[in-house]
Structure formats: C-alpha cells, structure tokens
Structure 1
Amino acid sequence: MPDDVSSILQQVAAVVSACDFQQGFSLLHPVLRFPSELDDSQLAQGLEALADISTGLGGDKLARALKPASEDPGDARKLYDAGFECIEEGLSGIAATLLARANVSHPNQPGILAELSSALEGEMLYAEAADFIESASPSVLDDPLCCYLLAFDSLMCGRIERFLEMTQRLRPNGDENIEFMKARLERVAGRIDALQPITRLDSRDLRGWHFALQGALLTHVASAGFEEGMTGRYAWLQDSYTLCRQGLQHLQEALAAIEFRPTRVVALGDRSSRILATAAAKLLNLPLHDWAEHPQGDELVVAYDLAQGPDDQVAALRAVQPGRLVFAHASVWTSVLPFVADITTLLYQSNVAPWDGGLRSGEGGGVEKTPPDESPEAELADKLLGTSFEPDNAVPFAQVTDLIRAGWGLSSFANGAQRERYFPGGPVPSSRFL
C-alpha cells in the first residue's frame, strides 16, 4: 500500500504541474478518502496537492484551510479546520480522514467527535460514527450533541436498543436545536415500537425501516439485485412504463388501505409529473388539476420525482396540510432530502424517466442513446395505463398493508406535522456507485 500510494502521489504531482486539476483530483480523492492508510509524510504531500488542486479549480477558501494542515499534519487544530472546510465543500470522505487523525491526537473532544460524525454520516458510515463516540470517554455523552449523535448514528446502523437508550438519556438543556432533533428521534422510537411486533426491522427490511424513519410508505422493493447487495433499492435505473404502471397500482391499493379518498388529483408543474398525474387521475377516475398553493378538499398530489418538481411547489409540501397526500414515483436514496412523499414507489441512485430517452443496443452491437419521446402528455399517460405488468417485489406488497394497520396513525401525514427529513443509507445497506 505505501508504495502504491507513493506512486499515485507522484502521478498527482505530475498532472497538477500540467494544470490538469480534475484528473489530479480523480487520482487523489480515493487515496485521501476514509479509511486512509497514509503516513504523516504522505498525508502532508496529499494535502499539499489537494490545496494546489483547489486553487486551480477556484476553491481558495478550501486551499487556505488545507495548507496549514499539509505543513503540520500532526496538529489537531489544523486538521480540524481542514476537515471542517472539507465537509463544507462536500468532501466528507477526506474530512473523515483528517478528523479521525485529530481525534487520535486529541481524544474525547466533543467538537472533534461531532464533526467526525458529520463527515462519516456523509459517507453513510453510521456504524463507524457510532463506534468513535462509543470508544470515547463516557463523559463525552454529557455533551447533548454527542449524546444525540450516538442516538442518531445507532439508529441509522440498526442498533435499536442503544438508540432507545441514548434517546431517553438525551437532555437538550434548553437548546432548541437539540429539542427539535430529540422530538424527531422520539417519533421514530414510537414507530419502531408499533412496528416491531409485525416486521423484522433488520438489515434487509427496507420497507419497514423506510416507514420507521420517514413515517411514510415505500411500495416497491426491487427484486433485481436484492441478494447481490441492493436489498430493494436501485443503483442505475432506466425506468419503464411497466414500473410506473405497477407504482400506480400499488398507490391505488395503498389509498384503499389507509382509507384516503381524494376528490381530485393535483400535478406538480414538471412534465414527468404531469404525465404521471394524468395517468393517475384516469386510473382513479378523478379530475386532474394544476398546482395550487393550498389544498381544495382531500387531494392527491402526484410527482414523478420531487427532485424534479418546481422548487416553490416542492417546498410547500414539506409541511403537512390537512387533506393533501403526496405521492412520488421515484426518490433518490443517496442524498439528503428535505422530506420524502407520503407514498413512494421506488428508490434509486441514478434514474431516467421512460419518456426521457435512454440507452439501447445499437445495430453494430454497441450502445446508443435514444431520443426523448416528445409525444403529447396525455398520449404518454394512456401508453402508461395500457402497459401490462406482473407484480415484481422482492417482498410481497402485503407488507405495506401490515405496516398501515400497525403504524399509519403514527405517519407524518396522520400526525399533521412536517414530513421527516431524509438521510441517505440507514440500517439497510445497498451497493452504490462512488
């Protein structure tokens, strides 16, 4: 490993000297990303190169934080400052390397542990984040933020008993932020208590954990790759009319199970949402309406993907409004989201809608990109509804109705509060592209 690292660092130096900063970063990032085995000399060299790359790409603030750490990689304060700035720039893996080293030289410091946890959470390494706090002095848990982080990280890696213990122990001491976060943990604890008699809540129970964490339903657990590391999510997905049709069928069944009878369907303003909402309205035999800021009676808001909807419309859905249920067909699982829909069909890392073009085998045996289908939205909605499908779930849809019976009264929609913030990953791991 050291010889390999030295060779890579030499390559980085060469391409940076040639002002190829993107290539330099591509080579350097895996070397600095947690867990890193660099010695002090290699770390200093790597941080110096990263500072030069940052300057070359216009990241002067990050470069200013990295330079002192490169000159003295044993200084905990300099490592902390560099790690903090790396988090700000979205380089959580590199930040975790620096903050873990700072924690070694200055253990039991709540500030270092908190930032280290944040960096590891950005890498979906919740168990590692919990372990760092667990290995610190017990007095660290007297700090409300560290106590909260241990509760949260224990939850996100499926250590339910430790999560419940730390949630009960947590004392906000008048800190409104901690009070807000504890309230969320207590809502999750209530849902876990309701669900444990009827579902496993283990490392393969994607639907159960989705409801426990989000207070929301997930209808499709992907069978493709389930046993090969995906456990119900998708990495790269070229969506299909078949999946969309199955999603609407499951939506119809879920609406019946929760006894929600909308009087109209409302479409978000993007094209994909309008196509899907048109199909949903026809399937449910309901009138279709354009977006309005406030609900008009009991209504179903339909989005293809909340990440694609108009920002102002999506922001208005964060708070639950009586009578307004939100459905989204697709939701990304690898990013922090302000919230998820009350009912979601599937989770993906990268996705292309059926009408947005995709990849197919070319005549010469290669792969070619197909153009988007610019047909009228109503025509595409009819095509969707006319698509036949066979239910394709790694876990039968009956689990959804079990979750509804056990816990729908504790859902975000039923509670009438804000929809829960979504944190990527969680107790059910899935493979992903880095």
Structure 2
Amino acid sequence: MNTELSEAWSLFDSGDPQGAMRALRAAADGLPSAELAPLAGRLAAAAGYDDLVEAAAALAGRPDGAAQLYDFGYACIERGVSQLAVPALRQALTVSLSRPPRRRLFGRGRPSPRQVLLELAVALEDGQRHAEAVTLLQEHDRLTADWPDRYLLVHNALMDGRLDLARQVFGSLGAPDEDWDEPADRIRRTLARATDATPADRQDLRGWHYTLTGGLLTTLSPYGFQAGMTGRWAYLRDSFESCRHGLDRLRAVLAATGRTPASVALLPDRGSHALGLAAARLLGLPAAPYRPGTPGALVVAYDLNNCDPELVAELFERAPDEILYEHATCWTDSPAVSADISTLLAQVAIAPWESGMAFTEDGEPKDDPADERSPEQLADAILADAAEPDEGDGETPADPEQALTAFAARVNGSWLTGSRDRIRSAGPVRSSSFG
C-alpha cells in the first residue's frame, strides 16, 4: 500500500477522520482513484454522505469504469473534497475519449467526454488550480461550446492572471442565454476593473484584489513579503492601533474618491458596532443600526464572517451610494459578499477585544484575556490609539498612503459598480497559509 495512503488509514483507525482526510487529499494525485475510494467511502459514511459512500463502493467494484469514475468525482465535488475528484475525473476523461459513448440496457450510459471535461475543470477551479484548468480546456477546445465551457476558460484565465487570454476568449463568445447573463456581466465588470487597476505583476496584491473583487485594499502586511506572504497575513493578533490605522486609511480613500457617506450603519455584533461607532466619530457622521437599502450608508464590519449570514446576504446588492467597509477580510475563506473597502487580508485575525495568544517583549507566548468593555468603550479605545503604521520586518516594500490614494483615484470610475460578488479564489497572487 502507498505510504501516504497507509498513513491516512492509520489516522482513520486511530479516531482522527480530519487528519485522515488531510492525508488522503495530499496523496490523491499520486494514487489510482480506486485505491483511495474505500477510505473515502469510510470517511463519507462517518459523515453521513450516502451519495459518496455509494459512488466509492461502485468505483472499488469497477476501477476503470468511466461512469463509476465520473460519479465518484462528481460526489467528491458535491461534498467539498475536489482534490479527490481530480484524479478520478482525469481517468474518466481518458476512458471516455478512448471509447465511444453507449447506453446501458439498464441504467444510464457512460458520460460524454464534454461532460467529464467540464466537471474536471470545476474540480481544478475549486482547488485554485487555475493554470491547470486553463491548460485542460485549451487542450480539449474541440469538445467545448461557448457557454459554460469557454466561460470557464475565461474565469480561470482571470484567476491565473492571464488578462490577455481572458479578454481574447471572452470577446469571441456568442451572446449568452438568460442563465448566463449574470456571469457574463461579472466578467465584463472584472475586465473593466482590470483596465483601471492595471495589475503590475503577480505580486501586485492591491491591483489584483481590486480587479477580482472590486474592493480597495487599504493596507499591506509589512511582514514576510519575501517569505511568500506578498501583503497578506496568515495569523494576526490585531490591535486597537491597527483598527484606528484602518479608519484613517478609510477616510483617505473617501477623500481621494470624492465619496461622502450620509451616515454610518452599525451592525449588531459587538466588534462591528464598536468599529462603526469609532468610524462615525472620526468622520463626523451620524450612526444608526443597519437597515437594508439605506441610501448613502457606510456599513462598517470588523469581520463579515462573524456577522449574521442573513444580514450579510442583504449586502449583496448595493443600495444607492452605499459603501461596505470591512476591517479584517479572510482570504482563505472569503465572506459571502466582497467588501468595497478592506483594511487587511488575513487567514486568521483575532480582534483586539477577543481572547487569544499574545507575546511578551521577550517573545514568550501568553494568554491574552478578552476585553469585556462595551462597544462605546471599545470605540473610545480605537480612537485613543495613535494611527502609526507598523514598521514591519524591514524587508517588505513600503506602502505609503499616497500610493493608496493614487490607486483609489485611478479606479474610481469602475469602483462601487454591480453586485458584491463572492470570489473564492486567492487569484494570481499566492500567499503562504497554514492548515
């Protein structure tokens, strides 16, 4: 048995299904799918995923069946383990291309090559393997139609930073039917933003963040740029100083773009409420609880992933002149809507009022207790702290406010247009993460 697969079985047998799945994901590309199917089936059974249990059993019984490989890959995508789907669907594509489609006497027939190709492209996209998805779809262009096939090519080209290819292919597509009007409009807006932002390279985090999400990123992490963070944070123990610095940069962006909110909309969670009160006082604006559809509101969130999901869903469509500001945006599990302005991108950000791990001046870890003060008192603390930017490690490119305001002014024409689409991919700017 393969060493990695053996390790995955050992973890499962020891009562660590999460560890077993991590090991199985890591091993998937180097194994025939039929070999990992039994363990995938056991893990699926423990999770109550009957469709994946059935597909895994069928694949174990017929390892080279195109339908069995396809069904297993499809079930893996549906259950959020696209890493396991990729090798199965690659094999299914090879089989389906080598054998003519036929229909069984009982049950459905073998999937068509095009059907398998599209599912494989989706699986690669889910894993942010956008370059592979582009190569795959280009290699099998004769199998594809405009919608959704070549739309997938355009989308993955954008996520891989290949703007010229995305523009070329999108410009050649025929008019979409009604089902694909929204995705087509999303691509048009993305390409328009790219024209304004003109991302310099695959390290231009602010340019690519704006191009893909429509949001302005106001600060870049001053640590670990050369080590692969490229402006993002992995783990951040946030501070009141950082919150104040974010609000100062928000004020600078509003001035640079000529935007004048009428009020601050307060979200109900304690952190967002506190940050909203601080923003209202800093900007000299009235504050009131958030009401969907309020024109001219500056909606302030600390972390949208910690907000009421139903409330966040209301923010997908922008009210007239509404601006959504989020302090800490998660880049590995993006929120359901993309903020119009984000202070920072972090995999994990612990708010300054939450309990968490901190470090002494000697670098020793210590437990930092939660700050139980009211939102009004937390707002006082945010505004009381100096807004000096963190100097960082000295090896990261400078990020002066003038660079941000110049960028914001340059993209102002395409900013705050269309819906706040969720973008699940980190895009062409890669950063180190954990977990």
User: Paired residue for 2:79, among 85, 89, 103?
Assistant: 89
- The one-letter amino acid of 2:421's match is E
Residue pair 1:19, 1:56 contacting (<8 A) in 2 also: no
TM score, norm. by length of structure 1: 0.89
Contact 1:277 1:303 in 2 (8 A): yes
Matched, 1:133 2:137: yes
Q: 1:209 to 1:79 in 2, by over 3 A?
A: same
Partner of residue 274, structure 2: 275
Aligned to 1:63: 53
Name whichever of 8-17 and 342-351 sits farther off.
8-17
Distance 2:245 2:168 in 1: 40
Instruction: Name the CA distance, whole Å, in 2 between partners of 1:164 and 1:118.
Output: 20
CA RMSD of superposed structures (Å): 2.4
| Match status 1:116 vs 2:120 | yes
* More moved, 17-26 vs 374-383: 17-26
Counterpart position of 2:226: 227
- 2:96 is aligned with 1:98: no
Closer, same or farther in 2 for the Cα pair 1:226/1:339, shift >3 Å? same
CA contact (8 A) 1:268 1:310 kept: no
The answer to which of 368-377 and 325-334 deviates more is 368-377
Question: CA 1:178 to 1:375, structure 2 compared with 1: closer, same or farther past 3 Å?
Answer: same
Q: Which of 166, 170, 174 is residue 171 of structure 1 equivalent to?
A: 174
Cα deviations across residues 250-296 of structure 1 (Å, max 9, x unaligned)? 0010111111122321111111101111111111122221122331x
Q: Aligned residues, how many?
A: 415
Structure 1 position 396 matched with structure 2 position 394? no
Residue-by-residue CA offset, 1:50-82 (whole Å, 9 max, x unaligned): 212221332222111111112222222211111
Q: What is the 5 A alignment of 1:31-430?
A: 31-32=27-28, 36-38=29-31, 40=32, 43-107=33-97, 109-136=113-140, 138-174=141-177, 176-196=178-198, 199-200=199-200, 202-295=201-294, 297-361=295-359, 367-392=365-390, 394-411=398-415, 413=416, 415=417, 417-430=418-431
- Which secondary structure state, in structure 2, belongs to the residue aligned with residue 433 of structure 1? coil
Structure 2 SS opposite 1:327: strand
Alignment partner, residue 107 of structure 2: none
Change in 2 beyond 3 A, CA 1:203/1:101: same
Give the direction of change, closer, same or farther, for the CA distance of 1:254–1:19 in structure 2 (3 Å limit): closer
Amino acid at match of 2:430: P
In 1, Cα distance between equivalents of 2:16 and 2:203: 43
Q: Is contact 2:328-2:346 (8 Å) kept?
A: yes
For 2:65 and 2:333, the matched residues in 1 are separated by 32
User: Shift of residue 208 of structure 1?
Assistant: 0.9
Aligned mates of 1:17, 1:277 — CA distance in 2 = 49
Contact 1:148–1:178 (CA under 8 A) maintained in structure 2: no
Secondary structure of 2:301 counterpart: strand
Task: From the superposition, tell whether residues 70 and 363 of structure 1 become closer, same or farther in structure 2 (CA, over 3 Å).
Answer: farther
Query: C-alpha offsets along residues 393-420 of structure 1, whole Å, 9 cap, x if unaligned?
Result: 7433333323333221212x2x3x3223
CA contact (8 A) 1:361 1:368 kept: yes
Q: Distance in 2 between matches of 1:308 and 1:18?
A: 33
**Partners of 1:348 and 1:130 in 2: how far apart?**
28
Percent identical among aligned pairs is 34
Equivalent pair of 1:188/1:213 in contact (CA under 8 Å):
yes
Aligned-partner residue type, residue 163 of structure 2: I
In 1, Cα distance between equivalents of 2:298 and 2:18 = 45
Question: Amino acid of the residue matched to residue 166 of structure 1?
Answer: V
Q: Does the aligned pair in 1 maintain the 2:248–2:387 contact within 8 Å?
A: no
On the 8 A contact 2:313/2:337 being kept in 1, the answer is no
Contact 1:279–1:385, Cα closer than 8 Å, also in 2: yes
The whole-number CA distance in structure 1 between the counterparts of 2:94 and 2:9 is: 28
TM-score (norm 2): 0.88
1:76 is aligned with what amino acid?
A: A
Return the alpha-carbon distance in structure 2 between the equivalents of residues 241 and 332 of structure 1.
Answer: 19
Deviation at 1:363, TM superposition (A): 12
The one-letter code of the counterpart of 1:189 is: L
Deviation at 1:186, TM superposition (A): 1.2
Q: Is the 8 A contact 1:170 1:182 kept in 2?
A: no
Secondary structure at 2:264 match in 1: strand
Moved more, 346-355 or 392-401: 392-401
Q: Is the 8 A contact 1:222 1:394 kept in 2?
A: no
Question: Is 1:226–1:394's contact at 8 Å kept on the other side of the alignment?
Answer: no
- Cα distance, 1:22 vs. partner? 4.4
Residue 18 of structure 1 and its aligned partner are, at CA, apart by 6.3
**3-state secondary structure, aligned to 2:219:** coil
- Distance in 2, Cα, partners of 1:299 & 1:53: 47
More off after superposition, 418-427 vs 246-255: 418-427
Residues 225 and 231, structure 2, Cα contact 8 Å, conserved in 1: yes
Find the residue that maps to 2:48 and give its secondary structure. Answer: coil
Amino acid at match of 1:260: R
Q: Name which of structure 1's ranges 110-119 and 340-349 shifts more when overlaid on structure 2.
A: 110-119
8 Å CA contact 2:312, 2:336 repeated in 1: no
Q: 1:130 Cα shift?
A: 0.8
Q: CA deviation at 1:11?
A: 4.5
Q: Give the distance between the partners of 2:147 and 2:58, measured in 1 at CA.
A: 31
CA contact (8 A) 2:236 2:350 kept: yes
User: CA–CA distance in 2 between the matches of 1:128 and 1:140?
Assistant: 17
What SS is found at the alignment partner of 1:211? helix
Other structure's SS at 1:158 match: coil
Cα distance in 1, alignment partners of residues 322 and 361 from structure 2: 48
Question: Separation in 2 of the partners of 1:228 and 1:363?
Answer: 23
- Unaligned residue ranges in structure 2 (runs of 5+): 98-111, 391-396
Mapped contact 2:312–2:337 kept (Cα < 8 A) = no
